Amino acid sequence: MSAEPIMEPIMEPVVPKPQPQPQPQMDPIDLLEAFEKAAGSMPIRAEFIEGTGIVPPQPEHRHNAGIVKLIVQFHLAGFDLAGVNDGFRVAKADGTTMALVVPDFYVCRREPTELDESYRKAHRGWYPIDLLALVGEVTSTNHEMDTGPKLRAYAAAGIPVYVLIDRHAKTAHCYTDPVLPEKADEDEDDASVDAYYGSDTKVTLGDPLPLPAPYPALDTAPFA
């Protein structure tokens, strides 16, 4: 009587699946330069906010004329460092770029130093955000950007005063007391999307907008 053969399952060798490798992320400055190059002869100044490259709409005459009148008010009150058109970079704690913003108007803390100009050269046209003491926006067709992502970006950067002329809601706002909540743990995504301003002084367009000392109250009649 022959013995029955012993049958044992043959285990297939386990071949580990290759893990996807993280793709290097494009530097936001490179991304915006690509946007501007693609625009060709159309003048744009793209921005980078909350992980997204943004091409703002072309502002119309009343938008720009109103900004000029606001800037004049600051200069008449002695704020010679009120300006327009410069871009500013917000950095994360690890030194990478959090945001690249071009405010409609602003007041600087200081005249840019040699160190500030070196920073601008190193970052291809973007000044450090800590130059700014006050920042302002006048809404255009993309008013949600100024009332949401930009507000959070400015709060995350710790800018003390954010002036918003909301032509869509017909209101003017002076936001102060920026708050940046701490992350619950080190693995959580960047907390800048939860940043906000603790105080909001709000008036109807046409009424004077009070600003904290030493700034003047702003005449918002040009937008009424």
Q: What is the pLDDT of residues 147-165, one digit of tens each?
A: 999 999 999 999 999 999 9
b/e code 147-163 from CB counts within 10 Å (16+ = b): bebbbbbbbbbebbbbb
Quote the tokens at residue 58.
Answer: 């072309």
pLDDT of residue 188: 43
For residue 75, pLDDT beyond 60: yes
Q: Cα-Cα-Cα-Cα dihedral of 108, 126, 140, 216, to 10°?
A: 0
- The residues, any chain, with a CB within 8 Å of residue 195's CB and separated by 6 or more, are 152, 153, 155, 156, 178, 179, 180, 181
pLDDT of residue 186: 45
pLDDT of residue 9: 52
- Identify the CA nearest to 151 among candidates 167, 135, 140, 132: 135
Model confidence pLDDT, tens digit, residues 45-68: 899 999 999 998 888 999 999 999
Q: Residue 153: phi, psi to the nearest 5? A: -65, -45
pLDDT of residue 181: 83
The continuous run of DSSP H or E covering 175 comes out as: strand 171-179
Task: Report the share of the chain in percent with pLDDT over 90.
Answer: 71
Mean of per-residue pLDDT scores for the chain = 88
pLDDT of residue 58: 86
Position 204 confidence tier, pLDDT thresholds 50, 70, 90: very high
For residue 221, pLDDT beyond 70: yes
pLDDT of residue 4: 55
The continuous run of DSSP H or E covering 219 comes out as: strand 218-219
d(CA 72, CA 201): 22
Q: Residue 93: phi, psi to the nearest 5? A: -60, -30
Model confidence pLDDT, tens digit, residues 7-19: 555 455 555 565 5
